[in-house]
Amino acid sequence: MSSDTVETVRAVRQIRRYDPDPVPADVLRRLLSVARWTGSSKNTQPWHFVVITDRALLRELSGLRPNINWLSRAPLALAIVLDGTAPLSEAYDEGRVAERILVAASALGYGGGVGFWGDESQQATAKRMLGIPRERTARSFVTIGKAISREDPRGLRRGGRKPMEEIVSYERWGNAATKRA
């Protein structure tokens, strides 16, 4: 892996403002292929992806809660649907697949974002809107599109990151780095 590739991975951020142009079919196909090949607990592949490009539907879904209002302007969203049989490992697998899609989108020159539909009743509404069976878990989505800005349209300040010393210990919890990182 080249250092440029590593930098692409490091620099992946949440994009919430997109050009309305459709995401080309070959880009979507490649992202879905990345999703399909993501590793999962016991290789259960507990996922299904609903590709959403319909503007009215995206607008309706974006109204589920204010924190995802930017979804209405995304050209494409993938609703992540899980089998709903193994909550812990499925949550882990869901995070892995979402992040891989974001990283792959970035590598292809696209921006991506993740979001939650909301609480159980909002999840149930999203499932109804998308025709997802009730017994499945559907709580998150990934948006994809060309980024027109990295600003947060909700007016929230962009976050930096905690310092390295705060998040890493060596050999034992609380042992700070000396000259290692």
Ligand X SMILES: Cc1cc2nc3c(=O)[nH]c(=O)nc-3n(C[C@H](O)[C@H](O)[C@H](O)COP(=O)(O)O)c2cc1C
* Interface contacts to ligand X, rule CB under 6 A: 13-14, 16, 67-68, 114-116, 158-159
Least distance from C-beta 149 to ligand X, angstroms? 12
Q: Smaller CB distance to ligand X: residue 23 or 140? A: 140
Nearer to ligand X, 151 or 175 (CB): 151
**Residue where the block lists tokens 């507990």:** 46
Burial of 89 (0-12, 13-18, 19+ CB in 10 A): middle
* Residue showing tokens 């009730």: 134
Least separation in angstroms between residue 32's CB and ligand X is: 20
Is the CB of 46 or the CB of 115 nearer to ligand X? 115
Buried b (16+ CB within 10 A) or exposed e, 141-154: bbbbbbbeeeeeee
CB closer to ligand X, 10 vs 180? 10
**Residue 16 C-beta: closest distance to ligand X, Å:** 6
Least distance in angstroms from the C-beta of 127 to ligand X: 16
In whole angstroms, give the CA distance from residue 116 to residue 21: 24
